[in-house]
Amino acid sequence: MMHADLKKILITQEEIARRCQELGDTITNDYKGQKPLIVGLLKGSVPFMAELIKHIDLDIEIDFMDVSSYEGTESVGDVRINKDLSNSAQGDDILLVEDIVDTGRTLRRVIDFLYQKGAKSVRVVSLLDKPERRVVDINADYVGFVVPNEFVVGFGLDYNQRYRNLPYVGVLKEECY
């Protein structure tokens, strides 16, 4: 059953599960022999990260960062780091987990920050990609799904902190903004 506040479902629970399996297999292959640190950006990446790491068959560690750049549905230019990694990133091969790449500002800032902290490599896996909205010339290395230029919620993505628990990704009805 679709949530009553949604206009449509863009990506179903089954499609997400299948894609996480595929991404996990690819990442497992690409990082063979390495022990990547998987870093989730709070809070939107949590459901995706949980599903994805089940399919990463490597000796990994996980950590989280909290950055903020978004108020309501409007992006603001600056990105603030609210919570840093628990450990030093020195020499780490980091796989950053994002819910969506929109303007690209968050990614640019966080990737630069991780290299400043001494990361050896930083790659990005994002559940969603909204290429039409890009302002900064940057892309995720691994993308689950490309979405059109609409405000999406579910599977980690919120509107004013709601809807993160929906097991699918969909578009809110206009009257719910």
CA dist 40 and 49 (Å) reads 7
User: Measured at the alpha carbon of residue 11, what is the angle toward residues 103 and 29, in degrees to the nearest 5?
Assistant: 75
Is residue 128 within 8 Å of residue 147, measured between CB atoms? yes
Identify residues 2-41 at the interface with ligand 5GP (CB under 6 A): none
Return the SS3 of 11: strand
* Token pair recorded at residue 114: 């991780």
Instruction: Please list the residues that pair with 39 across neighbouring strands.
Output: 63, 96
CA dist 118 and 74 (Å) reads 32
Q: Is 102 a known active-site residue?
A: yes
Please, what is the minimum distance in Å from the beta carbon of residue 166 to ligand 5GP?
Answer: 11
Tell whether residue 169 is a contact of ligand 5GP (CB under 6 A). Answer: no
Please, what is the minimum distance in Å from the beta carbon of residue 3 to ligand 5GP?
Answer: 14
Instruction: Decide whether 59 or 76 has the Cβ nearer to ligand 5GP.
Output: 76
Identify residues 54-73 at the interface with ligand 5GP (CB under 6 A): 69-70
- 6, 36, 39, 102: which one binds ligand 5GP (CB under 6 A): 102
Tell whether residue 129 is a contact of ligand 5GP (CB under 6 A). Answer: no
| Residues of this chain that bind ligand 5GP (CB under 6 A) | 44, 69-70, 75, 98-106, 130, 151-153, 157-159
User: What positions carry a catalytic annotation?
Assistant: 102
